[in-house]
Amino acid sequence: MTNRIAFQGEPGAYSHEACRAARPGMEAMPCDSFEDVIAAVRSGQADQAMLPIENTTYGRVADIHRLLPESGLHILDEAFVRVRISLLGLPGSKVEDINTVRAHMVLLPQSASFLKLHGMRGIAAADSAGAAATLAKTKVSGEGVLASSLAGEIYGLDVLAEDVEDHGHNTTRFVIMGREADMSRRGEHGMMTTFVFEVRNIPAALYKAMGGFATNGVNMTKLESYMVDGSFSATRFYADIEGHPDDRNVQLALEELDYFCSTLDVIGVYPRDPARD
């Protein structure tokens, strides 16, 4: 056991913040890409992976649904992290001193009202935490960064303003993955099961496959489709349901689904996060 949890991004990224919140006793390990995060866990460099799945403002995280089934890892937990955007500046600076702000391109429109109010010009950066690290080194006067407060703490920047986002509902859902599945747990707030499947090439296969969840009273909280290997004819579906595969109603629904599928792979059985409510 390394007691490390891997995440994508620079130290101070929102994924790093998620690691601190969900796994405070583990060392957070930064990686360049999602593929590197998965590889770190598979090779034993890290014990777990923190991967973002979706965001309430921007929807699905690109490529993640393709990577999860092929990762060889299993979902152990889910975590919901509110994205709180802070304006960071050099020590001693004030909001009125800032005229240019750098941030990842998805953060700039989320803080458009704040930037307009203070006459600040936004410049897109590859990574918000990376922009904070750069500012700490270059010490450019009049420049600020939109990032997490954690990034300010790590790189020695002052938090000049907090919660500068236009909307307070911006939340990212993460999954925590590991090498071994754990089907033994029962969460206090219920369980979730995540799986991917491809239906057989017969008329109304998807309609019939979904019928088992309705007739057995299983709540499906997510269903998304995506192409497989760039093919227009091969479509894979990613689904989240409430319940455990050992629950009789879930068992019956999955059996009915399997009958209409060419492939069906469960990639996670884990406690339901109360933040869903």
**167: phi then psi, degrees, rounded to nearest 5:** -125, 140
Annotated catalytic residue 174: yes
* 230 pLDDT tier (thresholds 50, 70, 90): low
Are residues 93 and 219 both part of a single domain?
Answer: no
Which of 148, 178, 208 marks a domain boundary?
178
Annotated catalytic residue 172: yes
Classify residue 184: in a domain, yes or no.
Answer: no
Q: What is the pLDDT of residues 25-37, one digit of tens each?
A: 999 999 999 999 9
What HEC string does the chain produce?
CCCEEEEECCCCCHHHHHHHHHCCCCEEEEECCHHHHHHHHHHCCCCEEEEEEEECCCEECCCHHHHHHHCCCEEEEEEEEECCCEEEECCCCCHHHCCEEEEECCHHHHCHHHHHHCCCEEEEECCHHHHHHHHHHHCCCCEEEEECHHHHHHHCCEEEECCCCCCCCCEEEEEEEECCCCCCCCCCCCEEEEEEEEECCCCCHHHHHHHHHHHCCCCEEEEEEEEECCEEEEEEEEEEEECCCCCHHHHHHHHHHHHCEEEEEEEEEEECCHHHC
Domain carrying residue 112: 86-161
Q: Is the pLDDT of residue 222 over 80?
A: yes
Are residues 22 and 70 both part of a single domain?
Answer: yes
| Separation CA 48–CA 45 (nearest Å) | 9
* 229 pLDDT tier (thresholds 50, 70, 90): low
Q: What is the pLDDT of residues 78-111, one digit of tens each?
A: 999 998 999 999 999 999 999 999 999 889 998 9
Nearest C-alpha neighbor of 177 from the set 51, 33, 32, 273:
51
> Any idea which of 6-15, 50-59, 143-152 has the lowest mean pLDDT?
50-59
Q: Is the pLDDT of residue 205 over 90?
A: no
Are residues 145 and 199 both part of a single domain?
Answer: no
Classify residue 185: in a domain, yes or no.
Answer: no
Classify residue 139: in a domain, yes or no.
Answer: yes
Are residues 174 and 41 both part of a single domain?
Answer: yes
Residue 149 belongs to a domain with what CATH number?
3.40.190.10
Q: Is the pLDDT of residue 233 over 70?
A: no
Are residues 90 and 59 both part of a single domain?
Answer: no
Catalytic residue (one of 172, 213, 237, 260): 172
Are residues 240 and 208 both part of a single domain?
Answer: yes
Residue 198 belongs to a domain with what CATH number?
3.30.70.260
Q: What is the pLDDT of residues 180-201, one digit of tens each?
A: 998 888 988 999 999 999 988 7
Are residues 41 and 174 both part of a single domain?
Answer: yes
Are residues 124 and 22 both part of a single domain?
Answer: no
Are residues 199 and 156 both part of a single domain?
Answer: no
Are residues 11 and 78 both part of a single domain?
Answer: yes
Domain count for the chain, please give it.
Answer: 3
CA 223 vs CA 19, 211, 236: distances in Å? 26, 14, 10
Are residues 67 and 105 both part of a single domain?
Answer: no
Classify residue 276: in a domain, yes or no.
Answer: no
Are residues 34 and 136 both part of a single domain?
Answer: no
Catalytic residue (one of 174, 195, 213, 237): 174
